Structure 1
Amino acid sequence: MRPLFSVVIISLAFLSCSQKRKSASEKIDRFSLVSRHNVTVNKFDSLGSLSVGNGSFAFSVDATGLQTFPEMYENGVCLGTQSEWGWHSFPNQGNYRLEETYQYFDVEGRKVSYAVQWNEPGRKRDAANYFRQNPHRLHLGNIGFELLKAGGQRVKPDAIEEIEQTLNLWEGVISSSFKIEQKKVEVQTTCHPSRDIIAVEVQSERIKNGLVGINLRFPYPTGNHTGGASDWQSPEKHQSAVISENNNSAVFEHNLDSTTYFVKLNWSGNAKIIQKEPHYFVLQPAGESEIFSFSAEYSPNNNFAEPLNFLQTKEVAASHWQEFWETGGAVDFSGTDDPRAEELERRTILSQYLTRIQCAGEFPPQETGLTFNSWYGKFHLEMHWWHGVHWALWNRSELLEKGLGYYSDIFEKAKKKAEIQGYKGVRWPKMTGPAGNDSPSGVGEFLIWQQPHIIYFAELVYREKPYRETLEKYAPLVFETAEFMADFARWNDENNRYILGPPLIPAQESLEKEKTYNPPFEVAYWHWGLSVAQKWRQRMNLPENEEWQKVIDGLPSFAQKDGLYLAAESAPDSYENEHYYSDHPMVLGAFGLLPETVPAERQIMENTFNYIAENWNWPRTWGWDYPMAAICAVRQGKPEEAVELLLKDVQKNSYLPNGHNYQDDRLRIYLPGNGGLLWAVAAMCTGFEGEENHNPGFPDDWKVQWENLDPPF
């Protein structure tokens, strides 16, 4: 008989800040570690834009240090100005209701509604399209240079020479220089760490000659699925105006249907605002100095705090970034001779920067962060795991917890959704916005693996803060989520066990919703999540929930065939049907993302891992699949395979010079990949709770130094 992985429900060993683990007594030189990965740019590159931000707001620039030539980047890494609060909906002129998108499925004798997309022309399809598209995230406007040649002609990109641009990660500032007609222009761009302010200083003798100005342009939204969200061809659909102005500041109001927001410019020295055309304004320095600085603050209301100049903003930003890099986790690969180590270190440092500026707000992030829209700018709650879990492992749990209030905010709406479908508890949405509304989908509405996430997040917070207050804060979310999970599982008399689905689409989205049941990752996650919810009851001196325990005890083992674990019990042809061995190889997640939860035969799990590593359709995977597969390798004691998978040479695992995880022409950046990489690197350093070996995820000849990391469950 083959040995079994034991059922392990982790009992947490809580670590105080003074007990955080590290690999060696010698302290890492964090300044050198970070600074050797400063990003440099020396040409216009549509995939090479750089960004500054604070986690709730971000501003992306081209090689000039501002958003001077956005059209060059529209099909690359767009020059976005985005925030958590900047949303818009087109008028609902058809008076559509979400209920019009419902499709009904038979579940235990009752009709269960799901908001879906419809292919046939007509009102159902129009309603589904409206609720998918709305609300959508706004591009808040372009701030770029107004550059002229000595003869008054407008400067085009090919007239800009000797570009030298650097993102200083330690200070959070982008320094740019370039020449026009042999005259240098030097620019510094930074962002305030807690206010939605960008601050810029420009130095050039061309300012004195009246050849450098700053333009501010407001677009109407496109409502497109993916892209820069900028419609410059519809000036009649919105209104922009200067509503107040004095010698050194001006406030702009932008009205788009029922949405209004404001931008306040503050500047040093004499300058004037000129409106060139609708939605197009120029801040023109008087030409009294070769140095000109300004700041721009964005706000949903006309209530601005005390203005800050460039030097003040730069100073507070530098202090913020120094604190960020000096606290939390750090991993130094410089002692390793393997050339792959340098690239892994680069990806690790840049992923920390990008997730901090794009994914550290009060809402779950969208997959393209605050750079440009994907899925209309909405966030996907199943992806919140990849955006958020790494914060806890890198000892920045406050950034994870910052985004968890969203679940309380939409709690009643999630409870109503479960009620409409005939379930107990709360059913969390998939593709959604700030209000927690559903977005009709033939795939997303049938996913369930986002449901236990809040239990996972809450358990991470409790590990960091094992107090009664933590339990009381998150217990309603944990318990009501568990109520839904237990109720969603259906008892099957024929085989004497519970089943999950149908209708269900697992995390491996290539399986059909109408017939899929018992995918292994979801079975494992249900087991783990319900077991942790029981543990929360125990911590709060509450009795065990008998219904939850019935489901825990009655969930099946992973389905297998020919010595391999299947993508679902309902898919015996998992490795014969090419359609099934693409997308996310989630069977590895059952022993990668999660600890040993459901009993599994070690040899079959190893066979499955080896088969997938060798035969999976890796070009049709996604950026977080490689970290997931790598950690499955680590859990099996395969460090070389873990490194190979984490750095697998395939397009969707490529990382641009600016650190972004490139997927394809549509998703030019993909932040779940960055978050997944950080989670995997931490686990490869620390091992898992109860694992005593250091660096179990790296070959013996890799010398990896790390500090202030915590292991995953």
Structure 2
Amino acid sequence: MINRYQLVNRNNPILKNKDLNSPFTLGNGEFAFTADFTGLQTFYKSYAEEIPINTMAQWGWHSFNSEENYDRKNLKFKNYNRGNKKIPYASEEKGQAGLFNFLRENPHKYNLARVGLHLEKKNGVKVEFEDIELNQQELNLWQGILKSDFVVEGEQVNVETICDPLTDSIAVKIVSDLIIKKRLGVEIEFPYPEQSKTASNWENKEKHQTKLIEQNEKAYNFNRFIDETKYFVNLFSSKNLELKIPSQQHYLFKSKKNENSLTFVINFNENQNRVKQISFSEVKERSIEYWQDYWTQGGIIDFSKTEAPKAKELERRIVLSQYLTAVQCSGTLPPAETGLTCNSWYGKFHLEMHFWHAAHFALWNRESLLEKSLWWYYNILERAKELASSQGFKGARWPKMVGPEGYDSPSSIGPFLVWQQPHPIIYAELLYRNRQKKSVLEYYYELIEESIEFMVSYLEFDQENDRFNLEAPLIPAQESYDPEACLNPTFELEYWHTAFVIAQKWRKRLGMEKNKKWEEITDKLAELPHKNNLYLGHEKAEDTFEKYNIDHPSMLGAYGLLPGSKVDKDIMKNTFDKVLSDWQFDRAWGWDFPMTAMTAAKLGEKEKAVDILLMDSPKNTYLFNGHNRQGSKKDLPLYLPGNGALLLAAGMMAAGWDDSGLESTAFPEEWQVEYESINKYL
């Protein structure tokens, strides 16, 4: 039996020096608080250019008021030809840039507040970033507790920061003689939303309002009003507090008690201006219980018996990715690519990325964390059907870049993507594989049927070649191609084939007859395009490896990510070798490395699979805090699809896949790898 406590704790990140690229995030899937080296958000501006230290929630959405009264109904669509059909897409910015970009930028997530320490020197001057000496900051993964120890002019400060698993709250304990000396306080500051990755405008203070209601000297309520958005913040302290307001939207609290410790809880919510008071000790107890349950009940992989230096780093990445995806990707809505740390694409979800964010939960026996967000597909089902109908298709077309209301954002790329379309089918299948319950079949069948019905109507029958095609306009997962010149992308063909096979299985499980149309499509779907024994990006992309060897090598996913029913393994092996030799991996993305490793594993290339997982490449960088950095991209300082993809690959390499026939794992033969509670992949 694996000693899980030892495994998790040996991977606790312990920071000895200030690192602007490694703030730590505490959260519960619905809410997250990212802290600097002081354990709070004391030096917000210092981190803003790298990884912002925000407070964000799944419910924290805002839209700017428009002086032009922009209305979605006025958006003009561009018609694209497909045979004798004209299909409208929201892809044309020209002549409507204002409305086009307004719909892209709204709604957006916003930063709820900055909660930081107010520290003063002996001479009364405010302490700056460089004035503090960091002793140590440790994120205790087993308990979900961040401990920060630092020194200000010889005075020790100890801070414990915890996120409540049950409410959108942080609990904080501060111990320092600076409290007695009135040189340490707690400040809360509220920003206005902004389209940047920080989601914070600290200047336009007149554009939003805060109504402060003092219940008593230990409890304060903040009612927040930002245009049409309203939310509430509650502060509960263990000591009587003295309040000062240094400037508009900025509140400073200091303890009135002549004691060197202070505990407080700050709660954020969208519905109640007063909530039941909770204490630091309550939150701490709940956090310890939650995280111990998390680590003891799901999957785990132990590399400690492997001497290869790479094993230790791989274990670190896996453990931290398990933590980060639980904190950021397990909520009731699909996550943004930067989760609840900061904004990417205005905080909207990219539904094609939902797979990478959350599919791994099912392999690691935490399928409930995947299922938490699947209700949302039913919530937007009618909107997805409207989108399909507006383009002349049946069923439900799942959008690409969306906020919680489910409207697809206009874009020259996003509306043409189709590889998110089978995702709900795969999610449902993964859930059923874990649970084997008829209730799962009955609940999710409608999602499967509506997804498939769109796919049926989207495909075009090619009479000359007696096949069904994926035809233009479309953009594949490798977003490098002209949407009007794309035909039969390799990955999408295999993915759609897999989806039709699974859908028929569901009909059989439910006692239904085979759908003859689905069966015809399964039999006659176009073959995967190849040339010179190499799979292509799509059928017309004969120069895939000369001109288009950038972005995602998605043709590999047809085998690594999927069962590969239509794949010729010899051609895939040649393609894999060609990708390794010719692909510009510095222009790939974080999930490409795990996907490529999955292909290597299925081809029996165990050594190469590990080498690819740990490839030295800018987009495969894993920071001290576990985040997958995307090279020098300042607008995308972390990339959670990379973390989720790593877990999917590692889980598959440990437990295998349906027809793997593995006697051990897909890790190198000399590696001694132990795992528990991980399921086989498709």
Compute the TM-score of the two structures, normalised by the length of structure 1.
Answer: 0.94
Separation in structure 1 between the aligned mates of residue 312 and residue 339 of structure 2, nearest angstrom: 26
Other-structure match for 1:10: none
Which runs of 5 or more structure 1 residues have no equivalent in the other structure? 1-26
Which residue number in structure 2 is paired with residue 110 of structure 1? 85
1:154 maps to 2:140: no
Aligned residue among 51, 59, 71 for 2:25:
51
The secondary structure found in structure 2 opposite 1:587 is helix
CA distance in 2, matches of 1:250, 1:117: 49
Which of 405, 428, 433 pairs up with 1:463?
A: 433
CA distance in 2, matches of 1:608, 1:382: 24
Contact 1:381 1:429 in 2 (8 A): yes
Aligned to 2:186: 214
In 2: Cα distance, 1:153 partner to 1:695 partner: 63
User: What is the aligned partner in structure 1 of residue 397 from structure 2?
Assistant: 427
Aligned to 1:477: 447
1:118-177 Cα offsets, whole Å, 9 max, x none, are 1x4x4x111110000000001101000011112211111111114311111111001011
**Mapping of 1:64-213 within 5 angstroms?**
64-98=38-72, 99-118=74-93, 120=94, 122=95, 124-213=96-185
State yes or no: 1:512 paired with 2:509. no
Aligned: 1:35 with 2:2: no
Q: Residue 111 of structure 1: SS of its match in structure 2?
A: strand
1:620 has 2:590 as partner: no
Q: Contact conserved, 1:209 with 1:287, CA < 8 A, in 2?
A: no
- For 2:517 and 2:339, the matched residues in 1 are separated by 39
Indicate the SS of the match to 1:275: strand
| Cα deviation 1:489-513 (Å, max 9, x = unaligned) | 0011222211102000000111110
The 8 Å contact of residues 500 and 518 in structure 2, kept in 1 or not, is answered as yes
Please tell me whether residue 564 in structure 1 is matched to residue 534 in structure 2.
yes
1:304 to partner: Cα distance: 4.4
**Distance in structure 1 (CA, Å) of the matches to 2:544 and 2:149:** 55
Q: Does 1:451 pair with 2:424?
A: no
Q: Using the TM superposition, give the Cα deviation of residue 695 of structure 1 relative to its aligned residue in structure 2, in angstroms.
A: 4.2
Residue in 1 that maps onto 2:576 = 609
- Whole-angstrom CA distance in 2 between matches of 1:65 and 1:493: 65
Identity among equivalent pairs (%) = 43
Q: Which residue of 2 aligns with 1:659?
A: 626
Distance in 1 (CA, whole Å) between partners of 2:273 and 2:435 is 36
Give the equivalent residue in structure 1 for 2:350.
380
281-290 or 27-36, which moves further after superposition?
281-290
- Name the aligned partner's letter for residue 581 of structure 1: N
Unaligned runs of 5+ in 2: none
Displacement of 1:343 in angstroms is 0.1
Give CA deviations for 1:8-65 in whole Å, capped at 9, x if unaligned.
xxxxxxxxxxxxxxxxxxx000011000011112232210101111011100011111
Secondary structure of 2:32's counterpart equals: strand
Give 3-state SS (helix, strand or coil) of 1:589's partner: helix
> Which structure 2 residues correspond to residues 322-471 of structure 1 after superposition, within 5 A?
322-471=292-441
Q: Secondary structure at the match of 1:463?
A: helix
Aligned to 2:611: 644
How many aligned positions are there?
679
The verdict on how the C-alpha distance between 1:690 and 1:566 changes in structure 2, with shifts beyond 3 A counting, is closer
For 1:195, give the aligned amino acid.
Answer: T
User: Does structure 1 retain, via aligned residues, the 8 Å contact 2:78–2:92?
Assistant: no
Deviations 1:609-629 (A, max 9, x none): 111111101100000000000
Q: 1:693 aligns with which of 662, 668, 682?
A: 662
Cα deviation for residue 74 of structure 1 reads 0.6
Structure 1 letter corresponding to 2:626: G
**Shift, 1:548, TM fit:** 1.6
Runs of 4 or more, structure 1, over 4 Å off, are: none
Q: CA deviation at 1:287?
A: 3.9
**2:557 is matched with which residue?**
589
Query: Deviation at 1:96?
Result: 2.5
CA contact (8 A) 2:37 2:134 kept: no
2:359 aligned counterpart, secondary structure: helix
Retained in 1: the 8 A contact 2:299–2:677? yes
CA shift in 2, pair 1:546/1:108, >3 Å? farther
Q: Which position in structure 1 is the counterpart of 2:651?
A: 682
Secondary structure at the counterpart of residue 514 of structure 1: helix
Whether the 8 Å contact between 2:459 and 2:470 is mirrored in structure 1 is yes
8 Å CA contact retained: 2:150, 2:157: yes
Counterpart contact for 1:219–1:279, Cα < 8 Å: yes
Q: Distance in 2 between matches of 1:709 and 1:695?
A: 14
Match of 1:702 among 651, 659, 671: 671
Q: Give the superposition deviation at 1:117.
A: 4.5
| Matching residue's letter, 2:546 | E
Asked whether the 8 Å contact 2:24–2:625 carries over to 1, the reply is yes
Q: What letter corresponds to residue 527 of structure 1 in structure 2?
A: H
Asked if 2 retains the 8 angstrom alpha-carbon contact of 1:687 and 1:694, the reply is no
| Post-superposition offset of 1:237 | 0.8
Q: What's the Cα RMSD here? A: 1.2
Q: Any idea what SS the aligned residue of 2:236 has? A: strand
The C-alpha deviation readout for 1:603-661, integer Å capped at 9, x for no partner, is 21111111111110110000000000001011111101101111111010010000000
Distance 1:303 1:253 in 2: 7
- Residue 368 to residue 101, structure 1, CA distance change in 2 (3 Å): farther
CA distance in 2, matches of 1:97, 1:538: 45
Q: Which residue of 1 aligns with 2:506?
A: 536
Whole-Å separation in 2 of the counterparts to 1:96 and 1:549: 45
The residue that corresponds to 2:227 in the other structure is 257
Q: Which residue of 1 aligns with 2:266?
A: 296
For residues 74 and 303 of structure 1, the distance between their equivalents in structure 2, rounded to whole angstroms, comes to 30
Residue number among 497, 518, 522 corresponding to 2:467 in the alignment: 497
CA contact (8 A) 1:191 1:197 kept: yes
Q: Which amino acid is the alignment partner of residue 623 of structure 1?
A: G
SS in 1 for 2:658: coil
CA contact (8 A) 1:80 1:371 kept: yes
Q: In the aligned structure 2, how far is the partner of 1:238 from the partner of 1:183?
A: 37
Within 1, Cα distance between the matches of 2:290 and 2:663? 31
Once structures 1 and 2 are overlaid, which stretch shifts more, 370-379 or 102-111?
102-111
Which of 642, 650, 668 aligns to 1:673? It is 642
Give the corresponding residue for 1:281: 251
Q: Which amino acid aligns with 2:15?
A: V
Deviations 1:232-267 (A, max 9, x none): 110111111203421311110111100011100000
- Please tell me the residue identity of whatever aligns with 1:78: P
Q: Distance in 2 between matches of 1:507 and 1:220?
A: 35
The alignment status of 1:574 with 2:541, answered yes or no, reads no
For 1:541-552, what aligned pairs fall within 5 Å after superposition?
541-552=511-522
Partners of 2:491 and 2:411 lie apart in 1 by 22
Whole-angstrom distance in 2 between the partners of 1:657 and 1:636: 32
Query: Which SS does the other structure have where 1:669 is aligned?
Result: coil
Report the Cα distance in structure 2 between the residues aligned to 1:47 and 1:31, rounded to whole angstroms. 27
SS for the counterpart of 1:612 is helix
Equivalent position amino acid for 1:103 in 2: K
Residue 13 of structure 1: aligned partner: none
1:582-611 Cα deviation digits (max 9, x unpaired): 00000000001101221x322211111111
Give the Cα–Cα distance (whole angstroms) in 1 for the partners of residues 661 and 459 of structure 2.
Answer: 36
Helix, strand or coil at the partner of 1:144: strand
SS at 1:428 equivalent: coil
Judge conservation of contact 1:637–1:696 (CA < 8 Å) in 2: no
* Whole-angstrom CA distance in 1 between matches of 2:35 and 2:414: 33
